[in-house]
Amino acid sequence: MGLTPRQAEILSYIQEYTRTHGYAPTLQEIARRFSLASVATVHKHVSRLVDQGRLARGRHEHRGLALPEPARRARPVALLGAVAAGRPIEPLAAVEELELPESWLARGRTFALRVRGDSMIDEQIRDGDVVIVEEREDARNGETVIALVDGEAVTVKRFRRDGSLIRLEPANSRLAPLVLPEERVRVQGVVVGVFRRF
């Protein structure tokens, strides 16, 4: 439901007042601000805003208004198995779903993979972490990608194109990069985040 012009003005005033003072104005203060003779008129507008979820009733009687807590939206993301942070391993079918905040999701289709190995440790991607991946078939040099090697094994590495060769570089000085002809490597996505449970 839309707001009347006066409701929009009152809501804007309450939001600004709350940002400035750390608490909401009283009904009397709202009435004074808009030169309204009756607090009942303010109460009617405020009740409408509460009914629409734009305001909440606070715990304090004198200053009984509050801005609603922003909803924490989460969306399910498929956890598609494991990815090697080391030697490539076979991809697995989806084993579970994760609920992730919308702010963690990529613009395109997003999926997740559990990391096995320590080849990306210097990028703070550790064994047991879950990487959040934007599904893409292309990558820029330096991006961390999920790559399908020879059509059957999946690995997480930094991507670098060198002519017709693809370098899949670990972030671990003890390990050597995989250098492969481009036809043997298919980018499946770019890592956009890391999820870790302690």
Rg (CA), the chain: 26
Alpha-carbon distance of 23 to 103, in angstroms, equals 27
Which of the residues 44, 103, 119, 173 is marked catalytic? 119
The one-letter amino acid code at 162 reads D
Is position 12 annotated as part of the catalytic site? no
Cβ neighbors of 41 (< 8 A, separation 6 or more) are 31
In 3D, which of 141, 136, 146 has the Cα closest to residue 162? 141
The one-letter amino acid code at 99 reads E
DSSP 30-71: HHHHTT-S-HHHHHHHHHHHHHTTSSEE-S-STT-EEPPPPP
Give the three-class secondary structure for 25. coil
CA atoms lying within 13 Å on the CB side of residue 195? 16
Is position 119 annotated as part of the catalytic site? yes
Alpha-carbon distance of 48 to 8, in angstroms, equals 11
The one-letter amino acid code at 180 reads L
Which of the residues 103, 157, 164, 173 is marked catalytic? 157
Show which residues are catalytic: 119, 157
